[in-house]
Structure 1
Amino acid sequence: MADPLSEVVTLLQPGAAFSKLVSGAGRWRVRRTEPGRPFYCVVLEGSCRLAVEGREPLMLQADDFVLIPAAHHFATSSLDPPDDGQDAPPTLLPSGEFRLGTVEGPPQVRMMVGYCVFGSPDAAMLVSLLPQLVCVRGDQRLATLVQLVNEESRGQRPARELILTRLLEVLLIEALRSTAGTAASPGLLRGLADARLAVAIRRMHEMPTHPWTVAHLAKEAALSRSAFFERFSRAVGLTPMEYLLAWRMALAKKLLRKGGVTITDVAERVGYGSASTFSVAFSRHVGMPPARYAREPLPASGM
């Protein structure tokens, strides 16, 4: 049986940018306005405050894990942040740890923070299927995975990049499935948390070449056509046919990037009866013909 969550994470092609150990004492705040880079953090001891634009601030405690798949505007701070509006520049300690706020004295919080990159040319679409914020509390498995990512990223051992890729895939899947039943924002996790919709989503992933219609998918989900359409659109944030198209195009992009296949082969493998029909759909969705897309250089660093 297809596992849509694993397939989406694998297609994202996660890679490690960097991770670091950070501690804080006194009053401090760091604001980040990153261009959509995936951010993760695990609190090792103590507590701090996380404020994400458009959301209520969260108090994070030891063993809490946070993942923001496309971080834009957010801030981490002491529980009582400074009111002067100034950010605290970090100080690199002799231990290799970065200290925020007061350098002297024991830390009030220690955390591992990091960014990863998504190498997929379709990363924006895939990330849109994930929650905007994932917060998992008290999960030692995630803390262990973050520690392994940190250790591997700092070493220069053989097969480092392969190990990091696999560790990040496991980290993302573990974090996302931990909140699959409670994801508040529309997306793939909310769809998979609904037992009826999950059947239809898995069928699309198992058989992307099948000539699916809303009626066929509604039958798989044991729902009426109208109930299925409304329920799917509300949970996933896309209509069933929009999701199917997006998934087929993501698969097509992967095949075209690999090379060694003809446009006709790609068309057949993603559910189109002819190369011309596929080319029209691909051009409309991506903004360029498939043949040209296959020749385009890969993005330098993904998201």
Structure 2
Amino acid sequence: MVDPLAEVVTLLQPGAPFSKVVSGAGRWNVRRTEFGQPFYCVILTGSSRLVVDGHEPVTLQEGDFVLIPSAYGFTMSSLEPTTSEGTDRPPILLPHGEYRLGIEIGPPDVRLLVGHCVFGSPDADLLVSLIPQLVHVRGERRLATLVQLVGEESREQRPARDVILARLLEVLLIEALRSTAGTAASPGLLRGLADARLGLAIRRMHESPTEPWTVAQLAKEAALSRSAFFERFKRAVGVAPMEYLLTWRMALAKSLLRRKETAIAEVAERVGYSSASTFSVAFTRHVGLPPTQYARGLLMEQVGESNAI
């Protein structure tokens, strides 16, 4: 059986170039608006407060894990309200390698392992749109263990470090997403898969992207009326069924074009288009470049990298 979540994460090509341990004492506040940089955090001890733009404030407790796949603007702070003096000051590097927010001396109120991951896929923005904007998992020790391993690997220069990090991040991301309660997740693929009926339709789209799907056919797969399916899908996934299908087809097309040995006509056929011209029009509208130009741009990038070497 096709696993849509695993397919999306595999295409994202996650990696972890940065992580650090941060502690906080007293009143502190950190504001970040680095769009496009996926952010994760595990609470090692203590508690803190997280406010992600567009979401209700969350009190984070020991063992909690947070993933913001495309790093929407967010603020992390102490539980106590901050004063103007404690607002968004850069952390201080302590002698043992930990970073401190707020009061420099004394025991911390909270310790966090925080980091940025990257998605190596050229169409990461497109794929990230399929998963929740905010993932908050509580009571999952497996995640804490995985994040600890990521932190250790990112700080050490061991053999095969990059390979290990890539694999750990892929496992971490899937584990975080599947551990999130479906009804509590923000709209996205995860919440859609948690709905038994919508999950059937989503899996069918991933199993057979070449099928000429319509809303009526997908509603039949989900054993729902057309209108009920459409509204339920849009509410859970965040986009209309045909928009989701188009996004997935374009992600597959980009992946095929990156392999370079696949002709445009074959790519069109493998993602559900009856002709190369029809596919080219859809691809151009969605991506902003014709598929031939997109593939040529990838080739030029590779040539440039080869010359640099």
Corresponding residue for residue 181 of structure 1: 182
Higher relative contact order (CA 8 A, sep 6+): 1
Counterpart-to-counterpart distance in 2, 1:182 and 1:228: 17
Counterpart-to-counterpart distance in 2, 1:197 and 1:46: 38
Corresponding residue for residue 103 of structure 1: 104
Corresponding residue for residue 121 of structure 1: 122
Does residue 238 of the first structure (1) align with residue 239 of the second (2)? Answer: yes
Q: What are the Cα deviations for residues 195-234 of structure 1, in whole angstroms up to 9, with x where unaligned? A: 1110010011011112222222122111222222222222
Corresponding residue for residue 160 of structure 1: 161
The answer to whether the 8 A contact 1:23-1:109 is kept is yes
> Alpha-carbon deviation of 1:193?
1.2
Judging changes above 3 Å, is the alpha-carbon distance between structure 1 residues 264 and 231 closer, same or farther for their aligned structure 2 residues?
A: same
Corresponding residue for residue 43 of structure 2: 43
TM (norm. structure 2) is 0.92
Corresponding residue for residue 22 of structure 1: 22
Coordinate RMSD, CA, aligned: 1.7
1:209-220 equivalence runs, <5 A = 209-220=210-221
Counterpart-to-counterpart distance in 2, 1:183 and 1:36: 24
**What is the percent sequence identity of the aligned residues?**
75
Counterpart-to-counterpart distance in 1, 2:205 and 2:199: 10
The answer to whether the 8 A contact 1:180-1:192 is kept is no
Judging changes above 3 Å, is the alpha-carbon distance between structure 1 residues 54 and 211 closer, same or farther for their aligned structure 2 residues?
A: closer
Judging changes above 3 Å, is the alpha-carbon distance between structure 1 residues 278 and 180 closer, same or farther for their aligned structure 2 residues?
A: farther
Secondary structure of the structure 1 residue equivalent to 2:50: strand
> Alpha-carbon deviation of 1:89?
2.2
> Alpha-carbon deviation of 1:289?
0.9
Which 5+ residue runs of structure 1 have no aligned equivalent? Answer: none
TM (norm. structure 1) is 0.93
The answer to whether the 8 A contact 1:131-1:183 is kept is no
Corresponding residue for residue 55 of structure 2: 55
The letter of the residue matching 1:129 is: L
Q: What are the Cα deviations for residues 75-122 of structure 1, in whole angstroms up to 9, with x where unaligned? A: 111111322163232111111111111121111111100001112222
Higher strand share: 1
The letter of the residue matching 2:44 is: L
Judging changes above 3 Å, is the alpha-carbon distance between structure 1 residues 186 and 106 closer, same or farther for their aligned structure 2 residues?
A: same
Judging changes above 3 Å, is the alpha-carbon distance between structure 1 residues 279 and 39 closer, same or farther for their aligned structure 2 residues?
A: same
The letter of the residue matching 1:11 is: L
